[in-house]
Amino acid sequence: MENKLNIKSIEEKVQESRLNQTTLAREMQVSKEAVSKWLRNEKYPRPDKLIRLARLLNLSFSELVCKTPTANEPVIAFRKKGAHKITSDYIEQAKDMGTTLKELVHYLPFDDLSQPAVLKSPLVDYEYIQKVAKRVRKRIGVREGEEIRFDHLIGFFNELQAVIIPVLWGNKENHENALHIYLPESMTTWIYLNLDCRIHDFKFWMAHELGHIHAPTLQGETGEDFADAFAGALLVPHDLAAREHETLCNLGDIWSQIKRIKLLAEELVVSPLTVYYQVNKYAAFCGKPLIDLETSKAIYQATTKFNQQFKPVNECLFNTKTPAPSRYVACAKEYFGSPFFDILKKYVVEQHKSAGFIQSLLNIPLLDAQNVYKELH
């Protein structure tokens, strides 16, 4: 990260204090040209001048200075959940993981002369996102009403040269179930997927990450909104949502509607909430009446009960919550077609790295990292 002056805050304080560049230069004991360069962010003040400027304008350091990403800094995207805020510490930790991943790029078995195509001008717009999702479904060979299976998603990840990193991070309630890291310099994408979660959520997160891969230029809240909307449209497309809306409107009561939604959710291996939201997004776009299952909280209660019927992904894969290191390491290639642990093994052996390197790379306890290290070594 690079420190830069927060020009907006400075200009507001300068105006509030009825200062101008001339008086500011006099108070700061520098030339007017120096102040002008500061306010254009062409130069950064020396520490003593920075302290003097903060005192003069009565601004804290965090108000006076903002951090901006450098050109080749890892680009981070989290799967957000509700209004939960991602802490700056967690973002910095993720960027450190991204910086560590740079060391593995040389070992990737990918074509380094080109990169997969991305969307030209991605928009968070219903009609646009439906068009993108329809194209992706066609590309992976899935018709409109058919289920997007895990092998479809995994195959497409591999086609797009995205490196899947399966992790066992425990049952997380907020944003820590999926982490997307894009390295601009090498144009490589690395996706951490937490196996300690429900299978329907896992599928949605995988589809969500595909959205990020298609629109790397969209970051922050906009990028998350796009990825969420893309995932929903991919898993429950427009035409299917249209048919379901008509069916639900013809059903007489809430519990019949819930039953119908759960039936489709089971067929598509998605959450009932995903079906419900996509049906209402279709209705809102077409000016049709919304299906209201939220006032009574019926859809939330039904989804909770629905989820309880299914095991977490790790138990589906390993028949246990705590797989042996050998099975865990093997799962990356066996289930996800990912070269991650193969290239990690080469790197660790050739560069004589320790378990501490694996700990920081996978964000896991040291004991777990030592077990993985032994398996790789």
Unique residue bearing structure tokens 């960027």: 95
Look up residue 198 and give its DSSP letter. Answer: B
Residue 199 lies in a domain: yes
What is the arithmetic mean of pLDDT over 11-22? 88
Please report which confidence band the pLDDT of residue 80 belongs to, taking 50, 70 and 90 as the band edges.
low
Both 83 and 225 in one domain: the answer is yes
Distance of CA 230 to the CA centre of its chain: 12
Per-residue pLDDT of 35-45, as tens digits, reads 888 888 888 88
Residue 313 lies in a domain: no
Burial annotation 354-376 (CB, 10 A radius, 16+ → b, else e): ebebbbebbbbeeebbbbbbebb
Q: What amino acid occupies position 222?
A: T
pLDDT greater than 70 at residue 175: no
Nearest-angstrom CA–CA distance, 313 and 171: 11
**Quick one: what percent of the chain has pLDDT higher than 90?**
63
- pLDDT top residue among 300 and 14: 300
Residue 79: its pLDDT value, please?
A: 61
Nearest-angstrom CA–CA distance, 60 and 285: 46
pLDDT greater than 70 at residue 81: no
Nearest-angstrom CA–CA distance, 315 and 277: 28
Residue 260 lies in a domain: yes
Please report which confidence band the pLDDT of residue 117 belongs to, taking 50, 70 and 90 as the band edges.
confident
Instruction: Give the chain's domain count.
Output: 4
Residue 113: its pLDDT value, please?
A: 62
pLDDT greater than 60 at residue 369: yes
Domain end call among 272, 307, 342: 307
Please report which confidence band the pLDDT of residue 221 belongs to, taking 50, 70 and 90 as the band edges.
confident
What residues contact residue 359 under an 8 Å CB cut-off, 6+ apart? 365, 366, 368, 369
Both 63 and 90 in one domain: the answer is no
Contact (Cβ atoms closer than 8 angstroms) between residue 328 and residue 211: no
**Quick one: what percent of the chain has pLDDT higher than 70?**
93
Residue 312 lies in a domain: no
Both 160 and 229 in one domain: the answer is yes
Both 139 and 229 in one domain: the answer is yes
Please report which confidence band the pLDDT of residue 98 belongs to, taking 50, 70 and 90 as the band edges.
very high
Residue 373: its pLDDT value, please?
A: 96
CA atoms within a 13 Å half-sphere pointing along the CA-CB vector of 21: 10
Both 323 and 295 in one domain: the answer is no
**In terms of residue numbers, what domain contains 10?**
2-68
Domain end call among 235, 269, 290: 235
Residue 204: its pLDDT value, please?
A: 95
What residues contact residue 194 under an 8 Å CB cut-off, 6+ apart? 167, 168, 169, 170, 172, 176, 177, 178
Please report which confidence band the pLDDT of residue 376 belongs to, taking 50, 70 and 90 as the band edges.
very high
Per-residue pLDDT of 248-302, as tens digits, reads 999 979 999 999 999 999 999 999 999 999 999 999 999 999 999 999 999 999 9
Residue 235: its pLDDT value, please?
A: 97
Residue 62 lies in a domain: yes
pLDDT greater than 60 at residue 315: yes
- The burial of 330, by beta-carbon neighbours within 10 Å (0-12 exposed, 13-18 middle, 19 or more buried), is given as middle
User: Concatenated DSSP letters for 200-260?
Assistant: HHHHHHHHHHHHHHH-TT--HHHHHHHHHHHHHHHHS-HHHHHHHHHHHHHS-SHHHHHHH
Lowest mean pLDDT among 5-19, 281-295, 296-310: 5-19
Look up residue 169 and give its DSSP letter. Answer: -
Both 213 and 112 in one domain: the answer is yes
Q: Which residues pair with 194 in a beta bridge?
A: 167
Determine if the pTM surpasses 0.75: yes
Both 40 and 173 in one domain: the answer is no
Contact (Cβ atoms closer than 8 angstroms) between residue 273 and residue 303: yes
Both 147 and 249 in one domain: the answer is no
Residue 37: its pLDDT value, please?
A: 86
What is the arithmetic mean of pLDDT over 300-316? 93
Distance of CA 272 to the CA centre of its chain: 22
State both tokens at 44. 């950064």
Domain end call among 217, 235, 253: 235
Contact (Cβ atoms closer than 8 angstroms) between residue 261 and residue 255: no
